[in-house]
Amino acid sequence: MNSDNNTPISPNDNDGKPKWLTRKEYTDPAEKKRDFWLGVGIFFVLNIALILCRWGLGYGVLAVSPDTVNSSSPMAMILGGMILWGLLLLPWVLNIGLIVFFALTRSQVALGMVAGFGIALVIVICLGVIFTVWCFAMLGSGSY
């Protein structure tokens, strides 16, 4: 019950929006920092878990050879292809969907997830530069 006018509080009290879709109002900077680092952690934990699942399930699907499955059954090949495409698209759908959801509800978590993507991009670029320098050093020394 609403204490102001004794009306029941509905789950859609905020201008017709569902309660789970209301924007969080931050009261102090510590909350913002905590949500930001929560977003960075969500990004890395989610993507590491998705990579591990894709490796495990992908190798399981790829391990089924055409000899094991009746080669005259194209349905098994179509199903395997659909599973692989689903595993390839799942990280994109989850990451973009979570960033949009958190942008509408908890903006600092969304910023943390975007920053996590930036951190991962910087790490990959640095590793690429190191690998390129290493390749040129090995080619230059003649020990290939």
Q: Is residue 69 part of a domain?
A: yes
51 vs 36: CA distance, rounded Å? 23
For residue 102, pLDDT over 90 is answered with yes
For residue 66, pLDDT over 60 is answered with no
For residue 126, pLDDT over 90 is answered with yes
Mean pLDDT calculated for residue range 49-74: 69
For residue 140, pLDDT over 80 is answered with yes
Instruction: Report the number of distinct structural domains present in the chain.
Output: 1
Q: Is residue 71 part of a domain?
A: yes
pTM of the model as a whole? 0.71
Range of the domain at 103: 41-131
Mean pLDDT calculated for residue range 49-77: 69
Q: Is residue 104 part of a domain?
A: yes
Residue 134: strand, helix, or coil: helix
Q: Is residue 55 part of a domain?
A: yes
Mean pLDDT calculated for residue range 100-124: 96
Q: Is residue 8 part of a domain?
A: no
Q: For residue 72, what are its two tokens?
A: 């005259």
Q: Is residue 112 part of a domain?
A: yes
By C-alpha distance, which of 88, 2, 98 is closest to 50?
A: 88
What was the pLDDT predicted at 19? Answer: 76
Q: For residue 30, what are its two tokens?
A: 């510590």
Backbone angles phi, psi at 105, to 5 degrees: -115, -50
Q: Is residue 141 part of a domain?
A: no
Q: Is residue 90 part of a domain?
A: yes
Confidence at 16, pLDDT banded by 50, 70, 90:
low
Q: For residue 96, what are its two tokens?
A: 């973009």
139 vs 117: CA distance, rounded Å? 33
